[in-house]
Amino acid sequence: MSAPAGTPTGDAHPADLVPLQTTLGVTLERGLLVRALTHRSFAYENGNLPTNERLEFLGDSVLGLVVTDALYTRHPDLPEGQLAKLRAAVVNMRALADIGRRLGIGAFLLLGRGEETSGGRDKSSILADTLEALIG
C-alpha cells in the first residue's frame, strides 16, 4: 500500500522505525507509518502536515469488523446483545491504550510541544487512536 499524497516521508520522523515494525510484525511503507504516528498537535505546529486521523477512522472500522467476525464465529449461540457487550469490552480506549503501551507506541509518536510536555506519550486516548491508525 502506498502512502497517501501529502504524507510526510524520509526524515519527517527522527526515529528509526524498524524496531516498531519488528514489534508489530509488519513492514510498512515509511511514509504511511509516519502518518499513522503523526498526532494533530505535531501536524499543526509543523505547517499543517497530514495527521493520523483518517487512518484512525479506517482502523477503527477494520478493528470493529475483525473483532465482530471473531466473536460471531467463536460464539455461535450468543445473542446479539451479549456479542455487542463482548465487543465493547475488547474494543475500547482502555484496552487499546494498554495494547499500545505494551507495544511501545508512545516512544514513536510525533507530538506537538504541548502534548509532549503534558505526558501525551502515555495518554490513553492518544495511544488508542494511534493503534487504530496503525491498523488502518
Ordered domains of the chain (ranges, CATH): 16-135 (1.10.1520.10)
Catalytic positions are 60, 132
What average pLDDT does the chain have?
A: 91
The whole-number pLDDT of residue 80 equals 97
Contact 115, 43 (CB under 8 A): no
pLDDT at residue 111 is higher than 90: yes
Q: Please say whether the beta carbons of 89 and 95 come within 8 A.
A: yes
Question: Picking from 27-31, 34-38, 103-107, which range would have the lowest pLDDT averaged per residue?
Answer: 27-31
| Interval 47-101: pLDDT, tens | 989 999 999 999 999 999 999 999 999 999 999 999 999 999 999 999 999 999 9
| Mean local confidence (pLDDT), 24-52 | 94
pLDDT score recorded for residue 12 = 55
What does residue 55 show for φ and ψ, rounded to 5 degrees? -65, -35
Of 114, 136, 135, the C-alpha closest to 39 is 114
7: pLDDT confidence band, cut at 50, 70 and 90?
A: very low
Instruction: Provide mean pLDDT across the span 11-19.
Output: 75
**CA–CA distance, 42 with 21 (Å, rounded to integer):** 21
For the chain, what percent of residues have pLDDT higher than 90? 86
In this prediction, what percent of the chain has a pLDDT beyond 70? 90
The pTM of the full predicted model, rounded to 2 decimals, is 0.87
